[in-house]
Amino acid sequence: MIDVEIIRAQFEQQYGIHPRLIVRAPGRVNLIGEHTDYNDGFVLPAAIDRATYVAARPRDDTRVHIVAVDLHDEDEFALDVPIEQSVTHPWSNYIRGVVKGLLVAGHTLGGANLLITSDVPRGSGLSSSAALEVATGYAFQVLNRLNILGEELALLAQGAENSFVGVQCGIMDQFISALGQRDHALLLDCRDLNYQPVPLPADAQIVVCDSHTERRLAGSAYNDRRDECDQAVQLFRQWYPKIRALRDISVAQFHQHEADLPEPVRARARHVITENDRAVRGAAALEAGDVATFGQLMNASHTSLRDDYEVSIPDMDALVAAAQQVPGCYGSRMTGAGFGGCTVSLVETSAVERFKRNVAAAFRQATGRDTTIYVCRASDGVGRAASE
């Protein structure tokens, strides 16, 4: 966890005055329910105790000045002219997009000085971009005394990534960063944004293993997968004309018609439809204290992501295989959009140290590289940093 006093000192060094507020928005790990969010489906993420921090203070003009501590870079733009993408500072587009979204929604904003730092690994699948978007939105909300609900903030942040940055992500990442609850995952219905907290087992830990294979979502096959899911919906409408998304197709209905679907659309649909089922059954298992069943569903999820959705890569498969072989590991899977990033495992507390040793050694033997392992705790969503 980043020391808030260090952030305060960095802001004062940069701007010569202390910040008005420091906001913290967490990254997230998705326990199960991958690539279901943009198909109106179910997801089961948890906010984690790694976060993006935005220190902020209002200005007397209409300019927004940003210092990105971790990137040793800065940027500036104005609020009284159309906000455009930055080619030279692409990281700032997440901030620009959120600010533009607030303005388009009719909110009146004043200028601000911002300083940003984070301990959410970038490009790892832990939603560093969503944490930045939500933290930025919340900072402007507080500075300008705006009345914005958590769900609205999440939708605004998602809209910034969709329409301004150009990544067609679903709502999950921004939603859990805004509305996460300590020691709980959230079963989120991505169609209507209904959600319920799901208690996590007290005697198990969420363990994230970073493959250090950086994902580049905007240039990856992510948008292709969305298109393939849309194709599947169009095909299913010949049998079920009223469906809106793959979420509306049951596992039984899929099996009834799968032979009539072309590849790879058939495989993509199979993953999404069965993954929705796994997410709902997984939440029920955790509610019942059945951690073993939940772990089996995590394992099945990874197999589906690897074989049907084809978003895993050999490094991720090696991490998952190593985790699944450790006694005390209930289940393991890749998490996030894929093509690199992190795995998530649910591990019995007494087995965590053994897990870390065994997985690190097995991954090094398989790839010649090291993995960074984070033992995470489910945390609350966005808010003022602790010492504020």
Residues forming the active site: 173
Rounded CA gap, 169 and 151, in Å?
Answer: 16
Which residues have C-beta within 8 Å of that of residue 263, sequence separation ≥ 6?
Answer: none
Query: How does 334-346 read in b/e, with b if 16+ C-beta sit within 10 Å?
Result: bbbbbbbbbbbbb
Rounded CA gap, 74 and 65, in Å?
Answer: 7
Rounded CA gap, 1 and 192, in Å?
Answer: 33
C-beta separation of 4 from 387 below 8 A: yes
H helical segments located in 73-181: 93-104, 128-143, 150-159, 172-179
Four-residue CA torsion sign, 335, 206, 314, 370: positive
The helix/strand/coil state of 139 is helix
Q: Beta-strand (E) ranges in the chain?
A: 21-32, 42-58, 63-68, 73-78, 112-118, 184-189, 195-199, 204-210, 329-335, 342-348, 372-376, 383-384
The residue behind tokens 């790839």 is 367
The helix/strand/coil state of 77 is strand
The helix/strand/coil state of 347 is strand
E strand or H helix at 144: none
Cα–Cα distances in angstroms (integers) from residue 73 to residues 7, 67, 202, in the given order: 16, 6, 41
E strand or H helix at 251: helix 251-257
Residue type, 240: Y
